[in-house]
Structure 1
Amino acid sequence: MNEMMLKKRSTNYLPEDLVVEILSRVPLTSLARLRWACKGWNDLIKDKILAMKPSQIIVLIDSRVYLASVDMHKIDNNKVNLTSQFSLKDPLSHNFSEEVDIQNVFHCDGLLCTTKDDRLVVWNPLSRETRWIQPRSTNKEFEYFALGISSSNKYKILRIVHTGKTHPGLLEFEIYDFTSNSWKVISESRDWLKPLWKSCVMSVNGNIYWLAFREGDGIFLQSFDFSTERFRRVSLPGDHHYYNILSLAVTREKQQLCLLTQDRQVPANNVWIATKIESKRAASWIKFLSFDLPNFHHPFHFCSPMNFLVDRENKVLVCPGKNNGVSNNFLNILGENKFIQVDHQDGKSVCSLLVNYVPTFVQIHQGSLK
């Protein structure tokens, strides 16, 4: 038996546990190439290896997207590691030589990014697959894009737009279907003001949730179902007249919606988790975390727009540092009797957005989950 055949047989008969151990040490970007080595490796990477990877977050710094790793057991060293940069090349530049400036990031089985020059791209940085989409129009005062999945596993994009031509608070909505590669207008217009903090539109199990405002109703929780293509309100925890609503987030592991509130009568801040969201308006909430911090008396104390991440195991939340040009704090770790300000490695840049990152090999151009 020649040497080539011997190597092939040895690889085929490696115990699965050993193969998993080896592949789990391979960087994410290299796993994308190893998927094609053989079907067995592809199945292991999709079903086991990705789930074993340490929890990572996407941060947006100076219009560039980075992966960051925060070890909650070592946060007292006051450092956060940027493990890699996700590079998105501009197809309009000469020989794809220039990178795209990213304005915002929306995560749902890939990355939905809006660029600063009104272009829209759906981007999977792991497979490096992109899909550039032309919006119906660029005549607007405000717009936001959110990616979702229907019950038949089809990708769709909701565009929330205010053109300024109608009532000041009236929004228009459009749906992009990946399969048909076309936009359509949703006839149902709503007299909401635009989402309060546009970085806080969250995806949970394919549908999206955000905080909205209407005169007379105040702030409320709104959702959009990509299967029915209909809007609905979702109930808030307790009596929402007794607290200020700050921001939304989603847990990484179980895809649960989180709400950060601030009591109006006592100096307390709370993180709520929706354990169940019914098909109608009802939602079941539990109070996950309460904390009181000095100088935490305004929704924009840390950054504006404000967003945060929840670590269920360590009972903390993570939010960006001040975004006012005064502080170089990169992240703040908040919890019961805990307040840690974490610096970036070089202490020069401030994070403007945090998003939990769950890697996937889903193929964007097919328009559905495979």
Structure 2
Amino acid sequence: MSDYIPEDVVNKILLKLPIKSLMRCRVVCHSWNNLIKSSTFINSHLCSISQLHSENEAHDLLLLQGYADENGPVIYSLHWDDPELSECTDFITPTYTIVPDLIGTCNGLVCLSTCSSLSAGRIILWNPSIRKYVFSSIPSSCFDGEENFAFGYNSNNNDYKVLLLTDRQAEDDQTVHAGMVWPFASGDWKSFSHETLEPIDVYSPFEEGLASVNKVLHWLQYELTEDYDDKYIVSIVSFDLVTDSFKLQEAWVNKTLSSIRITRYEETLAVFEFRSYENEEFVDMWVMKEYGENCWTKLVTLRHGLSIDPFGFKNSREIVVGVEDEEGRLELKSMNMDGKQVKQFGRSGYKFFFMDSFIESLVLLDHPKAISY
């Protein structure tokens, strides 16, 4: 069939197709299969899909991770980012002996980690849309503490990176900060010097959120003030995915521990600040006016009378929050920016602990070591 259609026309048509259709088109003929699994086509298709999403000309998707029962299976469900949160599909996961932790998503890849005292840990990059994954063993070089991971993408050289922060026992039995970065393109883990990591807190660094903006990962770091009155200096730690360098910028003083969470909002940073007043709970949302400048403006205050945990945003700019039900499950609800309209979000009866925007892609289709399942 393709012999009667110019090659450039075939290419343009295929670039407009969704992933499921493209995977079916691979069996039409050898030339189509070779075209679709080529690195050039994969990157072009990703750019095309990303452009459509940025211009709001494509249906946005949300990836949710959760379970109905703590002893039951973890589900990864894909939903349309529409008012009804219509369910798109449940992803079939590879089989693991250990339930993996979800680190993050980017360009259709889901980054997972499996760490256990019983087996060697692995980093897994999984593309659920094409049912392929690759993995890397986590180096066991004297890491004694809890591993903390972050995932990001450097568009300058089309490379994905995993950041690992932990601590280890030095030769003099002192505990020192340790860290590594894994660039997917090279596959080799690179260690950071002790001096580089000395100012960085490696103990549960991403507990208060993680935001990737402009090829930089951002998270929060707390340090007690000099008078030790349970007030903290809060700094924003950044890791540049292009230069593999860290930066520490003081942002606020006199804050209580865990009173702030950081997230991405459009193309800049935002924080949720929690406070109580007269037995009521409030959440203030602050947005960085210009990315990189320590100047913030309050966008909204949510007054809800419930203890909530912000998850992120829908394309409609509604805020998605987790609210504990009577059985301790964290149900998802969406609120408009004034907090007055609250709607059920996600599957009823499920406990969710991750949500992020998602686009389907062909990434990994051309990788020689990708495993199909």
1:233, 1:122 → 2: CA distance? 29
Alpha carbons 2:208, 2:260 under 8 Å: kept? no
Residue 200 of structure 1: which of 200, 209, 212 is its match?
209
Alpha carbons 1:88, 1:99 under 8 Å: kept? no
User: Which consecutive residues of structure 1, in runs of 5 or more, have no partner in the other structure?
Assistant: 75-79, 91-97, 296-300
How do residues 1-370 of structure 1 correspond to structure 2 at under 5 angstroms?
Answer: 8=4, 26=18, 28-34=19-25, 36=32, 45-49=45-49, 51=52, 52-62=57-67, 63-72=74-83, 74=84, 80-90=85-95, 101-109=99-107, 110-115=109-114, 117=116, 118-137=121-140, 139-150=143-154, 151-163=156-168, 171-187=177-193, 188-190=196-198, 192=201, 194-195=203-204, 197-198=206-207, 200-216=209-225, 217-234=232-249, 236=251, 241=254, 245-251=259-265, 254-263=266-275, 268-278=282-292, 282-295=293-306, 301-302=307-308, 306-311=309-314, 314-322=316-324, 325-327=327-329, 329-342=331-344, 344-345=346-347, 347-363=348-364, 365=367
2:169, 2:344 → 1: CA distance? 41
Q: Secondary structure at the match of 1:335?
A: coil
> How far does the alpha carbon of each residue in 1:206-236 deviate from its partner, in whole angstroms, 9 at most, with x for none?
2211122233354322111122222112454
Give how far 1:284 is off: 4.3
Give how far 1:257 is off: 2.3
Alpha carbons 2:208, 2:220 under 8 Å: kept? no
User: Which consecutive residues of structure 2, in runs of 5 or more, have no partner in the other structure?
Assistant: 27-31, 68-73, 226-231
RMSD over aligned Cα atoms: 4.0
2:343, 2:162 → 1: CA distance? 36
Give how far 1:328 is off: 6.6
Give how far 1:186 is off: 0.5
Alpha carbons 2:103, 2:150 under 8 Å: kept? no
1:318, 1:255 → 2: CA distance? 18
1:325, 1:105 → 2: CA distance? 26
Give how far 1:142 is off: 1.3
- Superposition TM-score, scaled by structure 2 size: 0.70
Q: Could you say if the C-alpha distance between residues 155 and 71 of structure 1 is closer, same or farther in structure 2, counting changes exceeding 3 Å?
A: closer
Overall identity of the aligned pairs, in %: 15
Give how far 1:285 is off: 3.4
> How far does the alpha carbon of each residue in 1:98-157 deviate from its partner, in whole angstroms, 9 at most, with x for none?
687232231233221113543211122234342201111184331122223444443332
Give how far 1:9 is off: 5.2
* Paired AA for residue 190 in structure 1: E
| Structure number having the greater strand percentage | 2
- Superposition TM-score, scaled by structure 1 size: 0.71
Give how far 1:359 is off: 3.4
1:361, 1:105 → 2: CA distance? 20
2:168, 2:106 → 1: CA distance? 26
Q: Could you say if the C-alpha distance between residues 314 and 173 of structure 1 is closer, same or farther in structure 2, counting changes exceeding 3 Å?
A: same
Q: Could you say if the C-alpha distance between residues 180 and 46 of structure 1 is closer, same or farther in structure 2, counting changes exceeding 3 Å?
A: closer
Alpha carbons 1:323, 1:352 under 8 Å: kept? no
2:277, 2:235 → 1: CA distance? 20
Q: Secondary structure at the match of 2:139?
A: coil
Q: Secondary structure at the match of 2:360?
A: coil
Alpha carbons 2:147, 2:166 under 8 Å: kept? yes
* Paired AA for residue 21 in structure 2: S
* Paired AA for residue 59 in structure 1: L
Give how far 1:34 is off: 4.4
Look up the match of 2:229.
none
